[in-house]
Each structure stands twice: as structure tokens, then as C-alpha cells.
Amino acid sequence: MKKILFSLFFMGFCLSLSLAQKAELSPCGSQPYKTEWLKNYQKDPSKFETRSGSTLYVPMTVHVLAGGVTDEFIFRNLCQLNADFQDTEIQFYLNYPIRRVSNGAYNSHQELELGYNMMVEYNVENTINTYVVDNPAGNCGYNLPYAGIAMNKTCMSEGDHTWAHEVGHNLSIQHPFLGWEGGVSYTGTVPHNFNNPAPDFVTYDYTLFQQTPYFDVDTLIVDTAFVERADGSNCHYAGDGFCDTDPDYIANRWFCNSDGQSNLIFTDPDGVKLQADASLIMSYADDGCAARFTEEQSAAMRANLIDEKMEYLDPNYTADPMLDPELVLNYPIDDEIVPFDGVVLDWEDIPNADFYNIEIYITNEVFPGMMFPWNSYSSQESEFTLPALDVNVQFFWEITPYEDFAFCNENVSEMNSFITSDVSSVNELDDTQVKLFPNILEAGQIIQIVLEETKDIFLDIRSMDGKQIYSYKGIGNQVSVSSQGWATGIYLAYIELEEGRTTRKIIVH
Ligand SMILES: [Zn+2]
């Protein structure tokens, strides 16, 4: 509950910041263009296999260049992406791990050409590649059909469909308003009054949008798009070429009315008044309105995967659900005192979990009782070694297991805590070098400390309030300590040999 309070406060702050930044961005930098494949497909979709009824699983490689983007942030956005694609029966699985790239020029690039260079340098073959950056050429996102997707991190959040929109482009589908990007002419200079009938066709510039890289911006390439009519007579080739997406002429960000339509009323070439459908993810309706792909769009994306991008579909991939998502933390727990460096977090393995998210929190004297995110990590193993931590700090941790194809996971472990000491783990003695037993006992039992061989040994046992209970310095391979008269509670045995030291916990009950 404490954590939730903080998160809401924090999210509210981020949301208003993100909305302000988003308003200045172009919704999508993908250039308008129908590929030869899409034109061919739309001539006769029935000729193409779609394997409807089975889920197509597509590998997604994520490269992070922007600062402040945790693995968990990406997991939450993958949850949104797969939710947006749920009805298409296309789902994305993470090609783990999330790649970290440090390159300031790529992270904030104004030119698509630089984005292309970035993708060529880092792309992982046979997967869709997404790059999370601070500035993808002034856009919320774009897709280069021959390379990959660039996403602005401020356009990634719960309820934001930009990533799904760009993946839609990656799988061949276009804006429902295809052709209107530059108004009725590709230059955007010819004014159009939407109260008047639209022309029969509009022209658009697709210089930068080729099947292969093409950055000769001195040579414009202009194409013609028929304007889609209300009566459906030209829906097979006008606009985006899909008949179940309504005519849409709006090529800039717009907000929907309460009926899920555009407030702007426009007029088709026959004089019929129209409003755009705000529910389409491929439109420029605000994210609060957009939510779906149509059946024809879904079929085209599936056909595109099966026919043109077969290399994405690994026949050996299986989506195995986790068997028991109940997660148990093993160590360190219950405020155990641990060396400040090299703390190894350990938890029970979950069968079929593909990786785990590790969240670390601290408290703060200024806001007592509140948990603050300190850092987060992910791991494929059921253990993780933390970097060096501040000493004498209480850290809280929790684990979330994930399948690589399902990220809307609410099965977070219980939170537990440990405290760092100023002892370094560099020379931490292990169980073969020093044995202490029993470590859970009743008062009066003998505690044995056994060494591998005879050595100089220093032993110091203290109660949790720091009071010394027992101390020994001498030579030998064994020390026996009586716990006669010890109060119930936890004790810490500090043991030092020439080659290192260790702190062991003793519980008297
Ligand atoms: Zn777009």
C-alpha cells in the first residue's frame, strides 16, 4: 500500500511531463508508401495464407539508448503491445536480454539516415528490432521498412499505442489516411477546405520510404493516392486499401468526440460528409481513442509474416506458460546483515519462467513509511549479484517472474529486506572454510565452529543490539561455545581468519 501511494504520485508527475513533451512531437515519422508486397496482397487477399486460429509468435529485440529506461519499463510496454495485438493473434516475445547501447548521436537523432545507421549497426537478424531513444527525428516513433523501429521513450506508457502503430507499419500496413500526409499535394502548400468535396486523388512524397535505404533527398519521389469514397466503391485501392477502415483524411494528431469519431467533418469527392474512426491504431487519433486493428489489417499483417517475413517465425519456438507463479525469496531476508558488496539475491526457481525482474527499494527519512524505487535489474537465473551498495542501509527487494511472451504479470513476490554491513565480501569465507552448527538451537546447546585445518581464529558473537556475548582469540581447528543462559533471539557470529572473514546468523528459540 505504501508503495502504491508513492507510485501514483510519481506516475502523475511523469504523465503530465510526458503529455507536455508528446504534444510537440509528430505522431509518426514513417513515410507513406505501399510496398509492392502490400499492393500485390490487396489485389487478391484470398490467395495468401494467414493461418487464422493459431497465434503467430514474433521475436522482438529491444535496444535501449535513452536514459532512465529500466528493463521493467520495457516489460510493461511489451504488455501493452501484446494487448494491442491480442485480437490479431500475433504476439511478440522478447529476444532476451534487452540490449543497452551508449551512443549520444544515435540516442538523439534528427535525420532518419542516422537512425538507419544505428539499426544497421545493432540489428539482430530474424527479429523485429526496436530502438528506444530520446529523440527519433522529432517523432513519437517511426518504422524503416528495411531496418527497424525507433521509439521515443515519452511515447511509451500504459495506454499508449505508438509502439503497436509502428509494428503495424513494420508488418506492412499503412495509415488509413494514406496520401493526405502533405495535404492534397505532397508539399502541404495547397490549402484544402474540408467542407468542399475532396479531389479524386492526392499526391504524396515517399522519397525516404523505399524497400532499400535511399537517402538521396535531392531527388523527390512522388506518388498518387486515390481518395477513399464513402460508398466503398474504391476502398480496395484508395487510402490504405482496406475496406473495413473508414475513409480518413486527417494526417495530424486529433482528439475524438464521445462517439469515437473525429470532430472534423470532411467531404468525400461525391460530396458525402464523413468523420474519421478514432478506434484505429493506425490513425492519428489520440491514444485515448485508438484501440484496435481491423480484421483486414490483421489478415494482411499475418499474411505478410507468413509470406514475406517467414524468417521471423521460428518453428521451434513454443510459448510455455509458467507452472507455479508463486515466488519465494530465499536470501537475504528478514533484515539479514550482509556484506555491502557482492550481495547475491537468491529465490526459488519458477518452472518455465524465462527471466525475473528484480526491484530494489529504499526508505527515506523525509517521507517516513514510503518505499522509493532504488534500482531494478533482470536475470534469467534465479539469483542475481548486486553491485556494491551503501553500507548500513536497509534495502527492500521483490521479484517478478516473466514468460518471454507474456508481460502483464501481476505475480510479484512478497517484499523482503536486508541490511548492508561495512564488511566486504571480497574475502568472504565459504562453508568449506568455516562451518558453524547448529545455527538454529535452544539455549544451552553447544555451537561448534569448525575450520578446514588449524589456524589463527578470532570469534566475536553479539546480540542484535550490538552487545558482545562471547569472544575468542586463539589457534585451533575447532571452537565450542555454550549458549547456556542466552536469551531467545538472533545473534551474529563474526569469524575472522587470516584469509578472510564471515558473519553467520545464530537463532536461539
Ligand atoms: Zn504511422
CATH number at residue 48: 3.40.390.10
105 and 163 co-located in one domain: yes
Residue 401 in domain: yes
Residue 1 in domain: no
396 and 281 co-located in one domain: no
Residue 427 in domain: no
Ligand 1 centroid to 245 CA: how many Å?
15
Ligand 1 centroid to 96 CA: how many Å?
27
Ligand 1 centroid to 142 CA: how many Å?
7
Ligand 1 centroid to 440 CA: how many Å?
63
Ligand 1 centroid to 235 CA: how many Å?
19
125 and 145 co-located in one domain: yes
Residues paired with residue 57 on neighbouring β-strands, in sequence order:
91
Ligand 1 centroid to 105 CA: how many Å?
24
Cell digits of residue 107:
540516442
158 and 179 co-located in one domain: no
Q: How many domains does the chain have?
A: 4
Ligand 1 centroid to 459 CA: how many Å?
68
Q: What is the 3-state secondary structure (H, E, C) of 400-464?
A: EEEECCECCCCCCCCCEEEEEECCCCCCECCCCCEEEECCEECCCCEEEEEEEEEEEEEEEEEEC
Could you tell me where the beta strands, DSSP code E, fall in 107-264? 108-109, 128-133, 135-136, 141-144, 148-152, 181-184, 201-205, 222-226
Residue 65 in domain: yes
Ligand 1 centroid to 227 CA: how many Å?
18
Q: Considering the entire predicted model, what is its pTM?
A: 0.80
81 and 113 co-located in one domain: yes
Query: Residue 318 is which amino acid?
Result: T
178 and 301 co-located in one domain: no
Q: What is the pLDDT along the chain (509 residues), one digit of tens a residue?
A: 334 434 433 343 344 445 556 667 888 888 778 888 999 999 999 999 999 999 999 999 999 999 999 999 999 999 999 999 999 999 999 999 999 999 999 999 998 889 999 999 999 999 999 999 999 999 999 999 889 999 999 999 999 999 999 999 999 999 999 989 878 877 777 788 999 999 998 888 776 655 556 555 566 677 888 999 999 999 999 999 999 999 999 999 999 999 999 999 999 999 999 999 999 999 999 988 878 999 999 999 999 999 999 999 999 999 998 887 678 999 999 999 998 888 999 999 999 999 999 999 999 888 888 899 999 999 999 999 999 999 999 999 999 999 999 999 778 999 999 999 887 766 778 888 899 999 999 999 999 999 988 989 999 998 878 788 999 999 999 999 999 999 999 898 989 888 778 888 899 99
Ligand 1 centroid to 165 CA: how many Å?
6
Residue 323 in domain: no
Ligand 1 centroid to 199 CA: how many Å?
23
Ligand 1 centroid to 302 CA: how many Å?
18
User: Beta-carbon neighbour count of residue 7 at 10 Å?
Assistant: 12
Domain end position, chosen among 421, 452, 475: 421
Ligand 1 centroid to 452 CA: how many Å?
68
Domain end position, chosen among 246, 279, 314: 314
Ligand 1 centroid to 272 CA: how many Å?
26
Q: What is the dihedral of CA 184, 190, 195, 198, to 10 degrees?
A: -30
State the CATH number of the domain containing residue 348. 2.60.40.10
Residue 30 in domain: no
DSSP 86-146: GGGTEEEEE-SSPEE---HHHHEESSHHHHHHHHHHHPPTTSEEEEEESEETTBSEEEETT
Ligand 1 centroid to 170 CA: how many Å?
10
Ligand 1 centroid to 29 CA: how many Å?
6
Residue 217 in domain: yes
Could you tell me the residue range of the domain that residue 355 belongs to?
329-421
Q: Are 241 and 262 within 8 A, CB to CB? A: no
180 and 42 co-located in one domain: no
277 and 348 co-located in one domain: no
Ligand 1 centroid to 173 CA: how many Å?
9
* Distance, CA of 96 to CA of 62 (rounded, Å): 8
Residue 385 in domain: yes
- In 3D space, the residue among 314, 38, 26 whose CA is nearest the CA of residue 169 turns out to be 38
Ligand 1 centroid to 453 CA: how many Å?
71
188 and 288 co-located in one domain: yes
272 and 339 co-located in one domain: no
Ligand 1 centroid to 30 CA: how many Å?
5
Q: Are 463 and 489 within 8 A, CB to CB? A: yes
* Distance, CA of 455 to CA of 495 (rounded, Å): 12
Cis ω before 332 (30° cut-off from 0): yes
Ligand 1 centroid to 166 CA: how many Å?
6
Q: How far apart are the first and last CA of the chain?
A: 32
Ligand 1 centroid to 463 CA: how many Å?
64
366 and 397 co-located in one domain: yes
190 and 281 co-located in one domain: yes
